[in-house]
């Protein structure tokens, strides 16, 4: 599968023209990871967006990073598959990664899009930039809503009464 056809299946590139997809594909690099490989660590600087071409990636948070919880290690909060993107928060705020990304399947193939080059495309082609930012906002809003639902479940869940 070509980078253009992979991008065509990705939500953040929804309604992009063939030319716009080809422009984005031209700045992509591709890398294959082994199962368990860390794509990026939590709380590290980030300046790339990733699109899954093949395989699966676990998004993980480690309570120990913020000094909470025991030493049970990272917890998977989402598993992403082909056509899904991650690392997009780095495009928006240039801050540190809010979670880690670890490959969950052997030979996971990722498209890597450098944020600096993507922002240059957005500046050069305002229609492309508008579509990308609109789609990114929708994607991030969906992820926030899902996180809110999970938090609500955690906060309102009460264990069943113990039987004596």
Higher pLDDT, 103 or 62: 103
**Which residues face 85 on adjacent strands?**
51
State the Rg of the chain over Cα.
Answer: 18
80-91 pLDDT per residue, tens = 999 999 998 877
Start-to-end Cα distance in the chain: 59
Of 73-82, 91-100, 105-114, 141-150, highest mean pLDDT: 105-114
Q: What is the pLDDT of residues 95-128, one digit of tens each?
A: 788 899 999 999 999 999 999 999 999 999 999 9
Report yes or no: 99 and 76 within 8 Å, Cβ to Cβ. no
Higher pLDDT: 75 or 158? It is 75
* Least confident among 26-35, 73-82, 154-163: 154-163
Please give the Cα distance from 20 to 25 (Å, whole number). Answer: 9
pTM score of the predicted model: 0.85
Where helices occur in 27-74 by DSSP H, the ranges are none
Q: Which CATH number fits domain 3-156: 1.10.8.50, 3.40.720.10, 3.40.640.10, 2.60.120.10?
A: 2.60.120.10
Residue 164 has pLDDT above 70, yes or no: no
What are the boundaries of each domain within the chain? 3-156
CA distance 87 to 98: 9
Residue 65 has pLDDT above 90, yes or no: no
Query: What pLDDT was estimated at residue 146?
Result: 84
Mean pLDDT of 128-136: 95
- pLDDT, position 126: 96
The reported pLDDT for the residue numbered 48 is 93
């Amino acid at each position: 599968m070509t980078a253009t056809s992979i991008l065509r299946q990705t939500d953040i590139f929804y309604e992009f023209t063939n030319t716009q997809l080809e422009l984005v594909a031209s700045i992509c690099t591709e890398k294959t990871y082994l199962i368990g490989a860390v794509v990026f660590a939590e709380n590290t600087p980030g300046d790339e967006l990733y699109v899954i071409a093949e395989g699966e990636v676990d998004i993980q948070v480690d309570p120990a990073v913020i000094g909470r919880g025991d030493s049970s290690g990272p917890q998977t909060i989402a598993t992403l598959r082909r056509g899904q993107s991650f690392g997009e928060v780095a495009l928006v705020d240039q801050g540190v990664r809010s979670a880690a990304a670890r490959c969950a399947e052997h030979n996971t193939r990722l498209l890597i899009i450098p944020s600096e080059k993507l922002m240059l495309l957005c500046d050069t082609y305002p229609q492309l930039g508008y579509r990308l930012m609109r789609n990114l906002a929708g994607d991030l809003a969906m992820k926030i809503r899902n996180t809110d639902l999970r938090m609500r479940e955690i906060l309102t869940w009460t264990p069943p009464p113990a039987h004596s």
